[in-house]
Chain A
Amino acid sequence: MVTYLARRIGLGLLTIWAVSVLSFVIIQLPPGDFVSAYIAKLEVQGTAVSQAEANALRAQYGLDDPMVVQYAKWIVQVVQGNFGQSLDYARPVADVIGDRLWLTMVVTLAAILFTWVVALPIGIYSAVRQYSIGDYFFTFIGFFGLAVPTFLLALVLMYFSVVIFNASVGGLFSPEYVNAPWSLEKVWDLAKHMPIPAIVLGLAGTAELMRIMRANLLDELRKPYVMTARAKGLSERRVILKYPVRVALNPFASTIAFLFPQVVSGTIIVSLVLGLPTVGPVLLTALLSQDMFLAGTIVLLIGVMTVLGILVSDLVLVWLDPRIRLFGHD
């Protein structure tokens, strides 16, 4: 077990390192650098910047160095827990994204929780009552949920909430709590704002998991051991929940690995529409202004969250299904 975990964590670290290199390269791809983007912005506002000032800025941020040196400097800092300075905000990266990162994780977890809580019972219902009206209804909802891009769903939900309830659903906090220090009331306020983002983000995954759960359970229900259990006189609830559901849950767990990056990606684009204070909108502006330390850190952290999500899903899989031995015969 320990060796297995160590190997997995080692592999994960390797992947994260590759992600960090790749993200750094991608962010550096646009022609020009932060200083030229910054100067262009100043010139739009009517401030001219001399060549000497530009050079001074470049020297200050170390943009003159070759990319390898820049990367080495940055990654050494990151390993020491210092994510560098955001060029755009002129503040440490950790300050800029600190709270937002936590909120991103909270929103992501809420969405995944929603997905599980909704998809599991509906999947079981659809399989046990195959071809009933409810099954058809949920199948339709499922396909619809898969087809509608999340940001469109967010847009439409927002439209209806404005038109019908005359309330804007944007944000994660009521205005009076946005800048307030953390307190129980603020947490409660956050919880009240959570349903819409969780539903918007979770719907596509819910639809997918619902279908998977239904298909798996249908396969299991046809197996002879279910008939044996029935013949022995077990109650219907026990027949279904005790064995087939447990076996059907197995691929359910392995899909968390896919669900996780999907939800994290979704958070980025949905946050822009719903105005959620997560890392998504910051990433977009950082990419556009070529603020590479900020953007690089965010992409790196998202990569870490993804790798962790996959690890967790593998561990859950082993825990659920004792037949799986990922770490040898011990």
Chain B
Amino acid sequence: MSVVADNVEVPVAVAPSPPISATPGDERISVASQWQLMWWRFRRHKVAMAAAVVIALFYVVVVFADFLAYADPFASDSQKTLLPPQPIHLFDDGAFRPFVHPVIGVRDFTTFQRVYKEDTSRKMYLQLLARGNEYRLFGLIPANAHLIGLQGNPVEGNLFILGADLQGRDLWSRLVFSTQTSLTIGLVGVALSLFLGVLLGGISGYYGGIADTVIQRVIEVLWSIPAIPLWMGLAAAMPRDWSVIQVYLAITVILSLVGWMRLARVVRGRFLSLRNEDFVKAAELAGASTPRVIFVHMVPLFLSHIIAATTLALPLMIISETALSFLGLGLRPPAMSWGVLLQQAQNIQTVALSPWLMIAAVPVTIVILAFNFLGDGLRDAADPYGV
């Protein structure tokens, strides 16, 4: 009975001592599982935690893109080309009631540029959870609610919080849908290169011999072709008449073709160092099958490293997709991605007059920074010898 009583008391004794950076002799640390230790180490890494939150938010945007985008991203309006971001007035007669003035485009007859003026005689009030164009949430549930909208007015052609592009399409809505493409293309690409990397790196490291030599030589040759010409060649090989989905899949394959090599090297190195460990020999002598030796005894030891390496590979994929699309070799309109949006910002004259076209550079930079910090944090947390 006294044992039970002890157990009851333990939480009370532990609760008031939150710091995890306790002495090595601390009981909690000595009984914690490997993953628990990693999580504690990771939690101390404040920047990495913040980065994880930022990335989570971006994926919320991916999931709820239809809800967050208030306008149809394809609704073009020749009267609203290159409309600058619309100022939102927060207070109306001293009360908090955000509204926008409708914008009218007129041609300036001295410069022949289109200039936009607010029509201050009319006000359109912003509304939360407004009704807008129809969509299917998660591709299943029919819905028409959007995060914001205009009271009593159609949102298309009236609301441009980030301005409009060359075709007069709402940049915010396009940015939200681009986030969806750009962030998933990286995930699919990384998943593919992870599969290739673990498979080929595993074969190379576990079996060694001829398989190892061949795979390593192939990696060396592929490595000495600079990535961009390789991508450009492969991307230029895509037939022009492919559908958006086909191009999307082809791009993920092209990206992962280059991405798998780094992962394969990591996996191979790990396999090589573990293969001669006593516990692996013991498992083999005890009659464990090869898959069992690999997946039960070896993989858990470097899984955390692979997770960190994968996190660090993701931003590279995202940059590559953006760069390819920016060059016109990746996704093509009507597909939307950050790179596709930036295509309109290629021309310096356009950029100088309408800098809001560069807006996609902001999420690219934030996401890549966040993934780098997260990957760094994970790598430090996964390192059992780290401090």
Contacts and interface: CB of A to CB of B under 8 A. Distances in A.
Contact of A159 (B233, B358, B368): B358
A159 B358 CA distance: 10
A146 interface: yes
Identify whether the interface residues of A are mostly helix, strand, loop, or mixed. Answer: helix
Interface string B344-377: 0110100110010010010011001100110000
Contact of B361 (A156, A168, A266, A287): A156
Contacts of B351: 155, 158-159, 162
Contacts of B315: 147
A155 B361 contact: yes
B229 interface: yes
B162 interface: no
A290 to B, nearest CB: 8
A143 B319 CA distance: 15
B364 A152 contact: yes
B311 interface: no
A30 B372 CA distance: 35
B143 interface: no
Most chain B C-beta atoms within 10 Å of own C-beta, residue among A147, A170, A303: A147
B104 interface: no
B282 interface: no
Interface string A258-279: 0001101110110011000000
B224 interface: yes
A127 interface: no
A149 B224 contact: no
B228 interface: yes
A283 B221 contact: no
Interface string A67-85: 0000000000000000000
Contact of B372 (A18, A146, A265, A307): A146
Interface residues of A, number: 48
Nearest to A262: B226
Contacts of B221: 15, 18-19, 22
A148 interface: yes
Interface in B69-86: none
Interface stretch (B58-66, B175-183, B198-206, B321-329): B321-329
B232 interface: yes
Nearest to B234: A26
A299 interface: yes
A48 to B, nearest CB: 20
A30 B239 contact: yes
Nearest to A299: B229
Contacts of A283: 229, 232
B233 A152 contact: no
Given A15-B224, A26-B237, A303-B224, A152 B361 contact: yes
A269 B321 CA distance: 13
Interface string A223-242: 00000000000000000000
A43 B373 CA distance: 52
B227 interface: yes
B234 A29 contact: yes
B319 A149 contact: yes
Interface in B211-260: 220-230, 232-234, 236-239
Contact of B229 (A30, A288, A302): A302
B220 A272 contact: no
A148 B365 contact: yes
Nearest to B221: A18
B348 A299 contact: no
A254 B231 CA distance: 25
A30 B241 CA distance: 12
Contact of A149 (B236, B322, B358, B372): B322
Contacts of A29: 233-234, 237
A298 interface: yes
A156 B233 contact: no
Nearest to A21: B221
A147 B365 contact: yes
Interface of A: 15, 18-19, 22-23, 26-27, 29-31, 143-144, 146-149, 151-152, 155-156, 158-159, 162-163, 168, 170, 261-262, 264-266, 268-269, 272-273, 283-284, 287-288, 290, 295, 298-299, 302-303, 306-307, 310
